[in-house]
Amino acid sequence: MVITLIKATIYWVAILYALAAGLYFWGEAAGKRPVLRLAWILAGTGCFSNLLLLVLRGILTGRLPLSNGSEFLLSFTWITVGLYLCLETRRQLKGVGGYVMFIAALFMLIVLMVMKGQLMETSPLMPALKSPWLSIHVLTAALAYAGFTLAAGLAAKKLFQADAGLMPDPIYRIIAAAFALLSLSIVSGAVWAEQVWGSYWTWDPKETWALITWIIYALYLHLYKKQNWQGRYACLVVMTGYLLVLFTFFGVNFLLPGLHSYAVQCINNTFVC
């Protein structure tokens, strides 16, 4: 019963996010407030359904849904959409919804096409993953990635819509918060790694690319703070940082073997963030 609900819900969430993205783009281009309102409702319904999907996954496995790629992506997407809806309500940034919801729909498509089997997987966790550091490390990473996704959506609006009229301050504040969370994720991961592998840092591909991502965002924050750096080039750096975020998760997990890919070989294509 739970597996059947999971299968149905994942399709439902993907459809809702895709429809919301299309309505956001259409409503913004045509200036139709009722369409934007409908897009918000669909996005909110998708966010709630995304949460239901995580709950169902937790019921199926008997643990928090944070231990494999599909669980992380579902959690990361849910946090992203939830944060965006709160931000839209507070700042009326409806024009950004199309970009954010498009990314959310794309992630759901990836889960369906690449990670669908993981949603039904019920194998017990490896000993290395049975640690309280798992929740800390993965949750902070998911929150950081969600913040970087919102910042990328804001930057995309500035780059592709000349009349966006969007001040850069929201981008800076979101990246500053996400950067702090990414730093916490890296530190907690290092402590966890020392307990599991006997070393805080091994220059594993995941660690290396996470560090490169951290440096790019640190550079953006430094230049913005010291030189009030903004505009097109600042947005391009934000987008570059987000591409590195995506590569750190997708590219490294699938393309670059390392300590973080041990679970891929052992638990039915399972990997963590």
Of the candidate ranges 1-10, 48-57, 190-199, the one whose mean pLDDT is the lowest: 190-199
Residues 88 and 94: beta-carbon distance below 8 Å: yes
Task: Give the mean pLDDT of 159-163.
Answer: 69
Measured in whole angstroms, the distance separating CA 21 from the mean position of its chain's CA atoms is: 16
Task: Give the mean pLDDT of 256-265.
Answer: 48
- Per-residue pLDDT band for 168 (boundaries 50, 70, 90) equals low
Task: Give the mean pLDDT of 244-250.
Answer: 90
Domain boundaries defined on the chain: 1-122, 125-273
133 has pLDDT over 90: no
Task: Give the mean pLDDT of 115-121.
Answer: 78
DSSP 268: T
Task: Give the mean pLDDT of 61-77.
Answer: 87
DSSP three-state, residue 15: helix
**Element at 163 (helix H, strand E):** none
- Per-residue pLDDT band for 271 (boundaries 50, 70, 90) equals very low
194 has pLDDT over 60: yes
Predicted confidence at residue 272, as pLDDT, reads 45
Top-confidence residue, 203 or 255: 203
Task: Give the mean pLDDT of 136-161.
Answer: 90
- Among 97, 210, 231, 209, smallest CA distance to 153 is for 97
Q: Give the whole-angstrom CA distance, residue 99 versus residue 25.
A: 8
Predicted confidence at residue 164, as pLDDT, reads 55
253 has pLDDT over 60: yes
Top-confidence residue, 82 or 248: 82
Top-confidence residue, 146 or 125: 146
Question: Per-residue pLDDT tens for 16-37?
Answer: 999 999 999 999 888 888 999 9
DSSP string for 200-244: S----HHHHHHHHHHHHHHHHHHHHHHH---SHHHHHHHHHHHHH
- On the 0-12 / 13-18 / 19+ scale of CB atoms within 10 A, 1 is exposed
The HSE-up count of residue 100 (CA atoms within 13 Å, CB side) is 35
150 has pLDDT over 60: yes
- Four-point Cα dihedral 255, 261, 263, 269, nearest 10: -10
238 has pLDDT over 70: yes
DSSP three-state, residue 196: helix
- Per-residue pLDDT band for 192 (boundaries 50, 70, 90) equals confident
- Per-residue pLDDT band for 267 (boundaries 50, 70, 90) equals very low
What percent of the chain clears pLDDT 70, i.e. is strictly above it?
Answer: 87
Predicted confidence at residue 165, as pLDDT, reads 52
270 has pLDDT over 50: no
